[in-house]
């Protein structure tokens, strides 16, 4: 599952990358980004790495710091975009299970390299910030 690329691979893949970047479905990309690109969506999707079926309160406790309002909103959007399915059980107390659709699982998988990358470059990322802060502080 180590899918990070070397610099050489990056160089080799560059033209392919550019192709995608230019495929101007910009509108669609914007749409997708507007949903996965909000503060919480990716973290919420993230949570299904733990279990295939998640209840509301379950998600709430796994996504650190999310408010119930935002979780609700986020789930509705994900549902609307076909990434998550929602099953309501007519029980008392109420029970609602959320699952990733195959589309949603696909997205999770695509995003995973990003998590790997962040984990791998954590120090670099942190240092970059600190150095920037220092250099600005001196001025």
Partner DNA sequence: CAGGATCCGCTCTGATACTG
Partner DNA sequence: CAGTATCAGAGCGGATCCTG
Please report, as ranges, the residues that interact with its own copies according to CB under 8 A: 1, 3-5, 7, 10, 13-14, 16-18, 20-23, 25-26, 28-34, 36-39, 41-43, 46-47, 49-50, 64, 79-83, 101-103, 105-119, 121-122, 124-129, 131-132
- The secondary structure of 45-85 as a DSSP string is HHHTTT-SEEEHHHHHHHSTT--HHHHHHHHHHHHHTTSEE
Residue 33 binding target from DNA, its own copies, none, CB below 5 to 8 Å by type = its own copies
Write down the least CB distance from residue 124 to its own copies, Å. 6
Helices 102-120 and 122-138: crossing angle, nearest 10°? 60
- Asked if 42 and 36 count as a contact pair (C-beta separation under 8 A), the reply is yes
Is 56 or 116 the residue whose CB approaches its own copies more closely? 116
């Amino acid at each position: 599952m180590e899918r990070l690329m070397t610099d050489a691979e990056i160089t080799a893949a560059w033209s392919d990358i550019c192709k995608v970047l230019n495929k101007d479905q910009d509108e669609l990309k914007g749409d997708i980004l507007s949903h996965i690109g909000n503060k919480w969506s990716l973290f919420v999707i993230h949570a299904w790495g733990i279990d295939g079926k998640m209840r509301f309160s379950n998600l709430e406790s796994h996504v650190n710091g999310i408010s119930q309002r935002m979780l609700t909103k986020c789930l509705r959007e994900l549902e609307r975009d076909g990434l998550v399915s929602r099953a309501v059980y007519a029980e008392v107390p109420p029970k609602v299970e959320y699952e990733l659709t195959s589309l949603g699982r696909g997205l999770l998988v695509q995003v995973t390299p990003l998590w790997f990358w962040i984990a791998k470059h954590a120090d670099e990322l942190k240092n970059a910030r600190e150095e920037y802060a220092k250099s600005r502080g001196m001025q």
